[in-house]
Structure 1
Amino acid sequence: AIVKGKDYTPGEIGPVIYLNADPDLTTVQNKIEAAGGKIIQIKKLISKEHGYMALFNDTEGNRLALWSNK
C-alpha cells in the first residue's frame, strides 16, 4: 500500500512498485505527464520473455514503474 504519514518521505530511493499496465503500457505512459507526473525512463524492452517497462515519478515524487507484455 502507498501511505502518507509524518515518518514517510516520498522519493526515488528504495524499492520500486511495478503497476500492471497490460496490454500495452504506452497508453498509461502517455497519460502520466498530463496528470502531473514525470517520465524518468520511457518504455523499453526488458526481454521478449519478460515484456516492457517504464519508470516515472508521481505527483508526490515517488518513483514507480509500469509493466506490460506489449
Structure 2
Amino acid sequence: MSAAATHIISWFEIPATDFERAVRFYETAFATTLRRENVGGQPIGIFPYTEPATGGCVIHSPTLKPSTDGVMVYLNAGPSVDAVLARVEKAGGKVQGPVIELPQDIGYIGFFTDTEGNRIGLHSPKHD
C-alpha cells in the first residue's frame, strides 16, 4: 500500500447457500435488520453501518462457498459476546467453544458456525 490505511478492511462478504435463511440467522443473532439489495444479479443482505466504519454483507453467489476453514471474519458483538452467542443457537447456529479473554484489556472473543457452515468470530469489550 502506498499510503497508511485508516482501516485495513474495507468490505466483507459472508457466503450463503440459502440466502433468506442466512439473512434471517444474522438478523436474529445480532438483533438487527439487514438491508436487502441485488448487485450484479446477486442478492446481498447488508449489515447496518455508518461511514467510515467497515461494511459487509451476506451474499448468495455461485462463485463463493461457505466454509469453516477459510478466512476468519470477526463481527462486533456490541457490549457483550455472550448476548450474541445466546441468540446464535436460537437462530440455528452453533457456538464453537468458550468465550476467550484477550490480554491487555482488549476484550473478549467467541466463535460460532452460522446456518450456512461459515465459521465466524465475535469481539466485544465485555463477557456477560
Pairwise CA RMSD of aligned residues?
1.2
- The structural deviation recorded for 1:23 is 1.0
Q: How many residues align?
A: 70
Q: Which residue of 1 aligns with 2:68?
A: 12
Name the structure, 1 or 2, with higher relative contact order (CA <8 Å, separation 6+). Answer: 1
Within-5 A mapping of 1:1-70: 1-2=13-14, 3-70=59-126
Report the Cα distance in structure 1 between the residues aligned to 2:67 and 2:90, rounded to whole angstroms: 20
Q: Please report the TM-score for the alignment, with normalisation by the length of structure 2.
A: 0.51
- Distance (Å, rounded) in 1 between the aligned partners of 2:117 and 2:60: 13
1:23-64 CA-partner distances (Å, limit 9, x unpaired) = 111111111111000111221102243110001000000010
Q: Distance in 2 between matches of 1:29 and 1:17?
A: 15
Q: CA–CA distance in 2 between the matches of 1:47 and 1:69?
A: 12
TM-score, scaled relative to structure 1: 0.88
Larger Rg computed on CA atoms = 2
**Structure 2: where are the runs of 5+ without partners?**
1-12, 15-58
Amino acid paired to 1:39: V
Amino acid at match of 1:35: A
Runs of 4+ in 1 over 3 A off after TM superposition: none
Q: For the residues of structure 1 that align with 2:65 and 2:80, how far apart are their CA atoms?
A: 31
Write 1 or 2 for the structure with the bigger share of strand: 1
For the residues of structure 1 that align with 2:84 and 2:96, how far apart are their CA atoms? Answer: 14
